[in-house]
């Protein structure tokens, strides 16, 4: 298996731990293929030309301080792990004072990560928020522990403050989900807000809503299929790739608990544009995420 091209350290010396979960057993989509995403994203990135880009972003001119180059960050690719091992592995990553970045797989994997975060946050007595990018709210309660019930399942975790969390880009909710959103008081940003309001005002709303401890989860179907066709449940009318990258660049500095990218389906992609967007998101996460709040400790792997 190819390592992610940015992997430049071993586990002990890395700040960011990238891992894949090549699993879509939690999906009920008619399309299949998200289990292929971790390998495809690594493959796509290995074909990129490596450019020493300095500055706050790959999309902005270099600043005079030359303060951030993605190649200068300490990254380790753990490889792919099984879904049933996610809770243990993520807890080890957090316990070692490192930031996890997961490549899925279907969105039900996010709950496994949140379960580990909940356990870790219990140990320090602090609650946390999630910023959840998705065309679908994933708040089904009549059927649980699959990709359509992630936030409902997560709402039962005692350290996740669901009222201080945000769904971004929602546009295809079911009636059951709308009722649960009201019941559990999670905040949400429907897609038409991206027309009636500025992106900066949306970012400001998110910043004012979330707690000081934040996890970011990205379902790539939040992006319009014109920009990201390679997903399992495409939903027309999404945000653009540039809007998503700007949101990630602006919100990632709030996150000290890590992030994931889910639901890329390579069999339905066109010229790898969805996987390439996934790579860019990972780059922006690495240069923007906050330092972890956990002290490093020795773990047994």
What tens digit of pLDDT does each residue of 11-26 get?
999 999 999 999 999 9
In residues, how long is the chain? 301
What tens digit of pLDDT does each residue of 166-219 get?
999 999 999 999 999 999 999 999 999 999 999 999 999 999 999 999 999 999
What tens digit of pLDDT does each residue of 62-114 get?
444 444 567 778 999 999 999 999 999 999 999 999 999 999 999 999 999 99
In whole angstroms, what is the distance from residue 90 CA to residue 92 CA? 5
What tens digit of pLDDT does each residue of 102-138 get?
999 999 999 999 999 999 999 999 999 999 999 999 9
* pLDDT of 297 higher than 70: no
Q: Which of 274, 161, 143 is nearest to 221 (CA)?
A: 274
H or E element at residue 175: helix 175-184
Strand ranges (DSSP E) for 7-165?
A: 16-21, 75-80, 99-104, 129-133
Least confident piece of the model among 2-6, 66-70, 138-142: 66-70
User: What percent of the chain clears pLDDT 70, i.e. is strictly above it?
Assistant: 90
Q: Which of 146, 162, 143, 164 is nearest to 154 (CA)?
A: 162
Stated pTM of the model: 0.92
**Spatial contact of 115 and 124, defined as CB atoms under 8 Å apart:** no
- The domain segmentation of the chain, as residue ranges, is 16-288
Q: Would you place residue 298 in the very low, low, confident or very high pLDDT band (cuts 50, 70, 90)?
A: very low
In whole angstroms, what is the distance from residue 55 CA to residue 70 CA? 9
In whole angstroms, what is the distance from residue 294 CA to residue 301 CA? 18
**Spatial contact of 239 and 191, defined as CB atoms under 8 Å apart:** yes
The edge-to-edge listing of strands for the beta sheet with 214-219 is 75-80, 16-21, 99-104, 259-262, 214-219, 129-133, 166-170, 187-190
Question: Cis omega before residue 191 (within 30°)?
Answer: no
In whole angstroms, what is the distance from residue 37 CA to residue 283 CA? 16
**Spatial contact of 18 and 278, defined as CB atoms under 8 Å apart:** no
Q: Share the mean pLDDT of the chain.
A: 91
**Spatial contact of 91 and 116, defined as CB atoms under 8 Å apart:** yes
State which fold the 16-288 domain adopts.
Answer: 3.40.800
In whole angstroms, what is the distance from residue 54 CA to residue 69 CA? 5
């Amino acid at each position: 298996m190819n390592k992610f091209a940015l992997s430049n350290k071993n586990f002990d010396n890395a700040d960011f731990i990238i891992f894949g979960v090549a699993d879509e057993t939690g999906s009920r989509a008619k399309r299949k293929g998200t289990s292929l995403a971790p390998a495809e994203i690594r493959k796509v990135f290995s074909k990129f030309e490596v450019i020493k880009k300095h500055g706050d972003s790959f999309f902005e001119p270099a600043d005079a301080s030359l303060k951030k180059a993605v190649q200068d960050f300490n990254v380790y690719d753990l490889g792919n792990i099984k879904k049933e091992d996610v809770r243990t592995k993520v807890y080890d990553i957090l316990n070692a004072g490192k930031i996890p970045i997961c490549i899925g797989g279907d969105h039900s994997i996010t709950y496994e990560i949140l379960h580990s975060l909940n356990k870790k946050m219990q140990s320090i007595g602090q609650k946390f928020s999630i910023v959840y990018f998705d065309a679908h709210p994933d708040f089904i309660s009549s059927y649980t522990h699959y990709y359509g019930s992630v936030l409902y399942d997560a709402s039962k975790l005692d350290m996740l403050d669901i009222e201080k969390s945000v769904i971004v880009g929602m546009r295809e909710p079911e009636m059951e989900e709308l009722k649960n959103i009201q019941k559990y008081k999670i905040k949400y940003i429907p897609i038409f807000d991206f027309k009636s309001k500025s992106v900066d005002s949306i970012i400001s709303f998110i910043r004012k809503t979330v707690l000081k401890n934040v996890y970011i989860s990205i379902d790539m179907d939040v992006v319009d299929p014109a920009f990201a066709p390679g997903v399992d449940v495409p939903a027309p009318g999404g945000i653009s790739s540039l809007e998503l990258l700007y949101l990630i660049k602006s919100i990632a500095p709030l996150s000290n608990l890590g992030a994931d990218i889910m639901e890329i389906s390579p069999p339905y992609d066109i010229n790898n544009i969805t996987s390439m967007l996934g790579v860019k998101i990972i780059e922006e996460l690495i240069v923007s995420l906050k330092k972890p709040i956990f002290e490093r400790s020795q773990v047994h792997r």
